[in-house]
């Protein structure tokens, strides 16, 4: 049986919240989804029956390999949709999340396979995040936060830790787009704000912004 819309939202949340051991607490999940704890508990008991999580009272959840695959397939639909909206419909990268939230719940596998084919099987979405394949496998990325870079380093803007519309609009206004080369010119001791050079111009980024920008050397 296909996952319901609500179940898919929980699966996607698990995908984003799990740590390196595939663990997450009920409290973290509840806060992330803005859902009351009893409702989250009940849903996770259902997930345990489906073998998507290992549920033990008062202990963190462990997301099983089956659960991670199901979660990755929801994320696959979302990220493919975002890529289609940007590449084929000329939406800005800051305008696609809400539409993708709606389309990700379409259950037709053929629909998303055709979308994948039309896009020539992209590996990443418009925000630089890897798109899981049809089996739920995902490319591991070895990236670092811009905030961890030192003065004088040249890096390539590759992905984001957060892709909400407001932050994407902020980056667009600064002409800071994926694959842009960044030269770190200065880091303020007081607030760790960073002066960077991009496209032969200087910009100042807050610590909050540099922590959300992922780069590769």
Q: What is the CA angle 100-211-209, rounded to 5?
A: 75
162: pLDDT strictly greater than 80: no
Secondary structure (DSSP) of the chain? -PPPHHHHHHHHHHHHH--TTSEE-HHHHHHHHT--HHHHHHHHHHHHHTTSEE--TTS-EEE-HHHHHHHHHHHHHHHHHHHHHHHTT---TTSSHHHHHHHTT---HHHHHHHHHHTT--SB-TTSPBPP-TTS-------EEGGG--TT-EEEEEEES---HHHHHHHHHTT--TT-EEEEEEE-TTT--EEEEETTEEEEE-HHHHTTEEEE-
Q: What is the pLDDT of residue 136?
A: 93
Computed over every residue of the chain, the mean pLDDT equals 94
- The whole-number pLDDT of residue 101 equals 93
For 148-164, the three-class secondary structure string (H helix, E strand, C coil) is HCCCCCEEEEEEECCCC
Question: CB burial class (10 A; 0-12, 13-18, 19+) of residue 142?
Answer: exposed
Which string of b and e fits 120-141 if b means at least 16 CB within 10 Å?
eebebbbbbbbbbeeebebeee
CA dist., res. 24 & res. 179, Å (int): 32
Alpha carbon of residue 189 to chain centroid: 30
The string of pLDDT tens digits covering residues 31-60 is: 999 999 999 999 999 999 999 999 998 899
Rounded percentage of the chain residues whose pLDDT exceeds 70:
100
Please state, for a pLDDT cut of 90, what percent of the chain lies above it. Answer: 90
Mean pLDDT computed over 181-188: 97
CB 42 within 8 A of CB 35: no
* Predicted pLDDT of residue 70: 96
Burial of 20 (0-12, 13-18, 19+ CB in 10 A): exposed
Average pLDDT over residues 18-25: 93
Determine the pLDDT at residue 139. 87
Q: What is the pLDDT of residues 74-87, one digit of tens each?
A: 999 999 999 999 99
pLDDT at 1 over 80: no
């Amino acid at each position: 049986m296909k996952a319901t819309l609500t179940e898919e939202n929980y699966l996607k949340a698990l995908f984003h919240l799990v740590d390196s051991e595939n663990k997450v607490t009920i409290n973290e999940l509840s806060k992330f989804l803005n859902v009351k704890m009893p409702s989250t508990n009940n849903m996770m008991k259902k997930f345990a029956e489906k073998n998507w999580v290992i549920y033990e009272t008062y202990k963190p959840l462990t997301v099983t390999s089956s659960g991670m695959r199901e979660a990755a397939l929801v994320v696959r639909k979302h990220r493919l949709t975002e890529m289609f909206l940007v590449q084929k419909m000329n939406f800005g990268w800051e305008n696609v999340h809400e539409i993708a939230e709606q389309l990700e719940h379409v259950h037709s596998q053929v629909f998303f396979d055709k979308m994948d084919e039309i896009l020539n099987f992209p590996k990443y979405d418009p925000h630089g995040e890897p798109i899981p394949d049809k089996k739920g496998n995902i490319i591991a990325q070895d990236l670092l936060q811009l905030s961890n870079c030192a003065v004088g380093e040249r890096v390539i803007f590759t992905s984001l830790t957060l892709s909400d519309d407001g932050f994407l609009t902020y980056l667009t206004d600064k002409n800071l787009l994926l694959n842009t080369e960044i030269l770190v010119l200065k880091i303020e001791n007081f607030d760790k704000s960073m002066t960077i050079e991009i496209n032969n111009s200087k910009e100042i980024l807050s610590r909050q912004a540099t922590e959300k920008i992922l780069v590769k050397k």
